[in-house]
Amino acid sequence: MTLQSGRDGESTPDGESRGAGRDPRPTRRGVLLGVGLGGVLAGCSTAAVPYDANEAGVPPNGPAPGAMPSSGAMTSPAAPGSDAMSSSPSPRGGQARKKAKPKPKGTVLGAASDIPVGGGAIYTAAKVVVTQPASGQYKAFSAVCTHVGCLVNKVTSGTIGCPCHGSEFKITNGAVVAGPAPSPLPARQIKIVDDQVILL
């Protein structure tokens, strides 16, 4: 009695094959492979992809002229250097997404509208005094008196006053108006952005 191969490795004792071709019943190996590949193949695209295409399926020289993407095929990515966000519509209303403004560098001291014209505001934590000698003209100086290092505490009548020994400084340039301070208040750099005073 000779054994002949039947279904995928099975032998039949009588040497006869089961049917005039392949057995329509699946083998265990076929079932296992079918189950293992079924989930993988379900998500695969059947569109032809060139050998040297990138992950999106686009060849290095771009898509072929007249090529139409099939349903489920990926669209080509934006060209390098282009602004994909501004040209692609957003899901809401089809309007282009606006880029967020970069936050200015520095420390936000407070609102510019809180600084009176002809006066100023003292920011003790930052040790800075900000004045507004004329409307829309802002100046900033160190709030540390140049005499013995006390913090100034008031801005009145066009001057910045120190409580320790009575030194006074101009709100326009920090120059000494009354001693004993030996030198003007050092200038500090600020910037006004959206009504916010920002110490640079």
Map out the domains of the chain as residue ranges: 115-199
Prediction pTM value: 0.49
Structural class in CATH, domain 115-199: mainly beta
| 200 band by pLDDT with thresholds 50, 70 and 90 | confident
Structure tokens at 160: 């910045």
| pLDDT for residue 83 is more than 60 | no
Distance CA 129, CA 121 (A): 6
pLDDT tens profile 88-99? 455 555 555 666
pLDDT tens profile 14-66? 544 444 556 666 666 665 665 544 444 445 556 666 667 776 767 777 666 55
Which of 19-28, 158-167, 184-193 shows the lowest per-residue confidence on average (mean pLDDT)? 19-28
| 165 band by pLDDT with thresholds 50, 70 and 90 | very high
Which of 19-23, 69-73, 136-140, 146-150 shows the lowest per-residue confidence on average (mean pLDDT)? 69-73
Per-residue pLDDT, 82: 47
Per-residue pLDDT, 9: 47
Distance CA 192, CA 140 (A): 11
Write phi, then psi, for 187 (nearest 5 degrees): -70, 150
Instruction: To the nearest 10°, report the CA torsion of 35, 39, 42, 44.
Output: -120
Write phi, then psi, for 46 (nearest 5 degrees): -100, 5
Per-residue pLDDT, 102: 65
Helix (H, G, I), strand (E, B) or coil at 128: strand
Per-residue pLDDT, 187: 95
Per-residue pLDDT, 11: 47
**Alpha carbon separation from 58 to 47, 67, 164 (Å, rounded):** 12, 11, 74
What's 61's DSSP letter? T
Per-residue pLDDT, 106: 87
| Mean pLDDT (the chain, rounded) | 74
User: How many other CB atoms are found less than 10 A from the CB of residue 140?
Assistant: 24
